[in-house]
């Protein structure tokens, strides 16, 4: 519900009636949204959108008449204030180039079973524009611990301390690697605004001021854990993230990723490869938050979504 107690208005566009129905029912019953639906982008543009006002449009990618990217591109032209979210059952990596071209930051995936809590959390973040923090990703009680990191020379030990708090965790080395990459990026790119070309000259024996300290929050319940890494630089942007990720999965003529030698994007690619959910939230020139989230057991089967939010 909006602050004025009016329901958020959402349009669901998918050529599969079962998917349209279950998403519509969930949003109406659980999120108290006002929801309409359409079978494809053509019907939505010609019959539904001109007659109604919406806060958000959720669209499948592969549909007859026009693809989801083409449809949401037209939505952006005609209704620039409407939030746009794509949804697919296929590998999101195959669509990164289109996401970059059409300025799409959120591609939700159809898992088995369908991950309704995650859909609700992502939509709530977007609709309320309260994209930062871990609250929306946990229902009920969850253990929380916060850390403030200033001594960069102690970064590896800090990462080990954080990881040890998580109960029953497997593959700790992968998580430690991801956190080291995220924290290094937060310090040297987010706060110090260093150049990637001068990595060999970076000074790792520094103490950040209290104002520039990196904030880390860990939260976990019986189902999953999430760790947020926040810097007060806000220098990251969605377009760059999509560009770097796409270069890591696009192959050149030699069969290698075109971004294999890139200085930027390595940490984000590693995080996306090793972690169940990578969520990036940005308020330009103010704050960047990277959230990594893992489920303790592989309950939701499917591909990984894409979530990059800017305000």
* Residue ranges of domains in the chain: 9-128, 140-310
**Orientation angle between helical segments 266-274 and 238-249, nearest 10 degrees:** 70
Across the range 12-19, mean pLDDT stands at 97
* Residue 121 · residue 101 · CB < 8 Å: no
84, 309 Cβ separation under 8 angstroms? no
| Cβ atoms of 113 and 298 closer than 8 Å | no
> b vs e for 276-288, b when ≥16 Cβ sit within 10 Å of the residue's Cβ?
ebbbbbbbeeebb
Mean pLDDT of 140-154: 95
What CATH number does the domain located at 9-128 have?
3.40.50.2300
Q: What is the pTM of this model?
A: 0.94
Please compute the mean of the pLDDT values over residues 209-234 and round it to a whole number.
97
pLDDT at 82: 98
Angle (deg, nearest 10), helices 17-29 and 116-128: 60
> Is 232 within 8 Å of 301 (Cβ atoms)?
no
Q: Does CATH place domain 140-310 in 3.40.50.20? A: no
Q: What is the mean pLDDT of residues 145-155?
A: 97
d(CA 27, CA 12): 10
Mean pLDDT, the chain, rounded, equals 94
CB 49 within 8 A of CB 42: no
Residue 118 region, left (φ>0) first, then alpha (ψ -120 to 50), else beta? alpha
For the segment 272-301, the average pLDDT, to the nearest whole number, is: 95
Q: Helices 155-165 and 172-185 sit at what angle, rounded to 10 degrees?
A: 130
What is the C-alpha to C-alpha distance for residues 54 and 61, in angstroms, rounded to an integer?
19
> What pLDDT is attached to residue 195?
86
Q: What is the CA radius of gyration of the chain?
A: 20
Q: Average pLDDT for residues 115-128, to the nearest whole number?
A: 95
Q: Where residue 1 falls among pLDDT bands split at 50, 70, 90?
A: low
Kindly tell me if the per-residue pLDDT of 193 is higher than 80: yes
Residue 243 host element (H or E): helix 238-249
- Which residues 6+ apart lie within 8 Å of 9 measured at CB? 33, 34, 35, 36, 52, 53, 54, 55, 56
Residue 123 confidence (pLDDT) above 80:
yes
| Half-sphere CA count of 183, side-chain side, radius 13 A | 29
CB proximity list for 261: less than 8 A, separation 6 or greater: none
Integer CA distances (angstroms), 178 to 156, 227, 234, 242, in order: 11, 11, 20, 18
| pLDDT at 40 > cutoff 80 | yes
Is 263 a residue whose pLDDT tops 80?
A: no
| 3-class DSSP state of 74 | helix
First to last CA, the chain: 20
């Amino acid at each position: 519900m909006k602050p004025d107690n009016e329901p958020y208005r959402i349009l669901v566009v998918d050529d599969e009636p079962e998917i349209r129905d279950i998403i519509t029912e969930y949003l109406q019953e659980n999120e108290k949204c006002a929801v309409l639906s359409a079978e494809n982008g053509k019907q939505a543009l010609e019959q539904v959108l001109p007659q109604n006002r919406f806060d958000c449009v959720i669209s499948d990618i592969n549909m007859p008449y026009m693809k989801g990217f083409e449809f949401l591109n037209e939505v952006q032209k005609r209704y620039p204030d409407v939030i746009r979210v794509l949804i697919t059952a296929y590998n999101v990596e195959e669509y990164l180039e289109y996401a970059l071209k059409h300025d799409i930051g959120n591609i939700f995936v159809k898992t088995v079973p369908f991950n309704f809590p995650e859909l609700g959390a992502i939509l709530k973040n977007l609709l309320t524009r309260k994209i930062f923090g871990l609250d929306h990703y946990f229902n009920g009680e969850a253990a929380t611990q916060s850390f403030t990191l200033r001594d960069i020379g102690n970064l590896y030990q800090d990462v080990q301390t954080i990881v040890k708090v998580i109960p029953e965790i497997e593959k700790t080395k992968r998580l430690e690697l991801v956190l080291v990459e995220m924290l290094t990026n937060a310090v040297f790119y987010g706060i110090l605004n260093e150049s990637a070309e001068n990595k060999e000259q970076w000074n790792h024996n520094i103490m950040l001021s209290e104002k520039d300290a990196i904030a880390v929050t860990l939260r976990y319940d019986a189902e999953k854990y999430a760790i947020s890494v926040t810097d007060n630089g806000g220098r990251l942007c969605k377009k760059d993230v999509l560009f770097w990720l796409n270069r890591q999965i696009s192959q050149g003529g030699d069969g290698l990723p075109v971004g294999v030698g890139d200085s930027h994007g390595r940490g984000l690619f590693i995080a996306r490869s090793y972690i169940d959910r990578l969520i990036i939230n940005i308020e330009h020139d103010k704050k960047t938050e990277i959230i990594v989230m893992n489920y303790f057991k592989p309950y939701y089967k499917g591909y990984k979504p894409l979530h990059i939010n800017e305000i």
